[in-house]
Amino acid sequence: MAHLSALEPDQDQTQPVVELRIQATLDQLSILRALAATVAIQENFDLDAIADIKLAMDEICTHLIVRAAPDSVLVCRFVFTPPQLHVSVSTTTTEYEDSTQRSFGWHILTELTDSISLDQEENLGGVGYITTMKFTKALSGRL
């Protein structure tokens, strides 16, 4: 497996964190969607918001998985700081992204979430880039 030194767990213990590390393959999408839905249900999101969160996770994870370096790990992190759910998904990708924010998928993500971002840094421990996509979704009527 690829080493992802930049993806080590946060040491901040102020908020509970749900984190999953999973092989970056498309057959893992159902697990990732289910985890996102479970976290959203636990934090009392309504059905529409839960659907938005599941779709956003699907779009982000698919985007990262198809660009992932061979044998990469996908790291998904969920932090609920009322009234928002903060989601971060990271993996090692093979190429630098320069046009993602103009894509149709990005447009969909901006409609499904309250905020969305993509960050990349060179993978100093190996080849490619550590690519992280983050989004937030607020409880209905709270922002």
Give the full edge-to-edge strand order of the sheet including 17-23: 17-23, 73-81, 84-93, 129-138, 115-122
Q: What is the reported pLDDT for 6?
A: 45
Tell me what percent of the residues of the chain surpass a pLDDT of 70.
87
For the chain, domains (ranges, CATH) are 15-136 (3.30.565.10)
Mean pLDDT confidence for 70-91: 97
50, pLDDT greater than 90: yes
Nearest to 4 by CA among 91, 66, 82: 91
What's the whole-number average pLDDT of the chain? 89
